[in-house]
Amino acid sequence: MSGFPVILSPAARAPAADREPVTPVLVTAAGDQAQRRFLEFFAAAIRNPHTRRAYSRAVAEFLAWCEMHGVPSLASVQPLHVATWIEAQSRELTAPTVKQQLAAIRHLFDWLVTGQVVPVNPAASVRGPSHVVRQGKTPVLDPVEARLLLDSIDVSTPVGLRDRALIALMVYAFARVGAALGMKVEDVYTQNRRLWVRLREKGGKAHAMPCHHNLETYLHAYLDGTGIAADPKGPLFRTIKRGTGRGDGKLTETPLTQPEAHAMICRRAAAAGIMTRIGNHSFRATGITAYLKNGGTLEKAAAMANHASTRTTQLYDRRRDEMSLDEVERVVI
């Protein structure tokens, strides 16, 4: 059958587009409308930069594979092409990665169908690999460790005030690290005599949360102690000015990055004597687990965490770990 691959092994992958999506040959050959619609998909439909990079890479690889296997045009891509490529990818990559790749192809062709570039979506009927996760793998801290970490930070310096405020924001407001680092000073505001935070989550959605009293104290201390309250349009969490050191270092106007936040967290945890190998997402899971252990409901936790489904929130719930530890100790020998 012309245009269909006769092998199931993966073909050479196209280079990833780490910055701007590169227009694949099949898209260019389809004309100006296809090219415009393709670029609009990544510019307008995909707002999260990490998702944009992953989708761009997946689409580039798939369309390069199609071209290599003799598919003459975008409109000629069939469900069998998509299914064959997905099956080949499943032999090399994890199920979550392959499912994301399929989502990228499906969403792109949906966009092209809506723009009347192609008549149907060839990925619509293709099923990805099965993958069920009942509990996440992100390490969490118990409340005693979380309290120890926060209390161990020297807040006599701007950097210490910053680090305590950032960690507390992720714990008490269930904030994703990306949303926290994307905040501006004006995203901390007073409403009904209570401090609130405005988080811009995945997809650019704004999500507002009232502050826990501890978080309110830490944010006030940070804003007042560093003087950044006078710069409402500037980033809330900033890097240290070079040459001033971590101790009494002054803050710049440059936003802190996720790798820098991760390095800070590892450094603070080591200084506090915490052996758990935590990361940027550990504090979100720590806060959700502590909330549920103290009588909070899964539905309200999902709303506070801005999860679309309680199934996602369940991945952050580690109460079962504590139950398992208790049961293990019943083995008395």
Residue 274 and residue 229 in one domain: yes
Q: Is residue 239 part of a domain?
A: yes
Q: What is the pLDDT of residue 323?
A: 46
Kindly give the pairing relationship between strand 188-191 and strand 194-200: antiparallel
Q: What is the pLDDT of residue 313?
A: 62
Burial class (CB in 10 A: 0-12, 13-18, 19+), 137: exposed
Q: Is residue 192 part of a domain?
A: yes
Q: Is residue 138 part of a domain?
A: no
Q: Which domain range does residue 308 map to? A: 143-324
What 8-state DSSP symbol labels residue 229?
G
Query: Which residues, in sequence order, are bridge partners of residue 262?
Result: none
Q: What is the pLDDT of residue 318?
A: 52
Q: Is residue 150 part of a domain?
A: yes
Burial class (CB in 10 A: 0-12, 13-18, 19+), 266: middle
**At CA 30, angle to CA 27 and CA 33, rounded to 5?**
90
Q: What is the pLDDT of residue 243?
A: 63
Tokens 């007073």 locate to 190
Final residue of a domain: which of 110, 132, 154?
132
Residue 195 and residue 110 in one domain: no
Residue 230 and residue 84 in one domain: no
Q: What is the pLDDT of residue 310?
A: 62
Residue 286 and residue 178 in one domain: yes
Q: What is the pLDDT of residue 325?
A: 47
What 8-state DSSP symbol labels residue 125?
T
Interatomic CA distance for residues 136 and 134, integer angstroms? 7
Q: What is the pLDDT of residue 312?
A: 63
> Coil, strand, or helix at residue 207?
strand
Q: What is the pLDDT of residue 319?
A: 57
- The most distant pair of C-alpha atoms in the chain lies apart, rounded to whole Å, by 75
Query: Which residues, in sequence order, are bridge partners of residue 159?
Result: none
Q: What is the pLDDT of residue 263?
A: 94
Q: What is the pLDDT of residue 296?
A: 80
Residue 77 and residue 159 in one domain: no
Q: Is residue 330 part of a domain?
A: no
Residue 297 and residue 165 in one domain: yes
Total number of domains constituting the chain:
2
What letters, b where the CB count within 10 A reaches 16 and e where it falls short, cover 50-62? Answer: ebbbbbbbbbbbb
- Entry pTM: 0.59
Residue 155 and residue 46 in one domain: no
Final residue of a domain: which of 106, 132, 158?
132
Q: What is the pLDDT of residue 73?
A: 95
Interatomic CA distance for residues 267 and 166, integer angstroms? 14
Q: Which residues lie below 8 Å from residue 318, measured CB to CB, with a gap of 6+?
A: 135, 140, 285, 289
Tokens 């915490």 locate to 274
Find the CATH number of the domain harbouring 99.
1.10.150.130
Question: Residue 265 corresponds to which amino acid?
Answer: I
Distances (CA, A) of 153 to 164, 166, 252: 7, 12, 20
Helix (H) or strand (E) holding 66: helix 49-68
Residue 243 and residue 124 in one domain: no
Q: How many CA atoms lie within 13 A of 167 on its CB side?
A: 30
Query: Which residues, in sequence order, are bridge partners of residue 200?
Result: 206
Q: Is residue 293 part of a domain?
A: yes
Q: Is residue 120 part of a domain?
A: yes
pLDDT in tens, the chain (333 residues): 444 443 333 444 434 434 456 789 999 999 999 999 999 999 888 877 888 899 999 999 999 999 999 999 999 999 999 999 999 999 998 888 998 999 999 999 999 999 999 999 999 999 888 754 444 466 788 888 999 999 999 999 999 999 999 999 999 988 889 999 999 999 999 998 889 999 987 666 788 888 999 999 999 999 999 999 999 999 999 998 876 555 557 899 999 999 999 999 999 999 999 888 888 888 888 888 888 888 887 677 777 867 666 666 666 665 555 544 454 445 444
Final residue of a domain: which of 96, 112, 132?
132
Find the CATH number of the domain harbouring 202.
1.10.443.10
| CA nearest neighbour of 85 among 74, 72, 107, 69 | 69
Residue 115 and residue 261 in one domain: no
Residue 128 and residue 147 in one domain: no
Residue 73 and residue 152 in one domain: no
Q: Is residue 180 part of a domain?
A: yes
Q: What is the pLDDT of residue 140?
A: 80
Contact by Cβ (8 Å): 160, 297: no
Residue 160 and residue 302 in one domain: yes
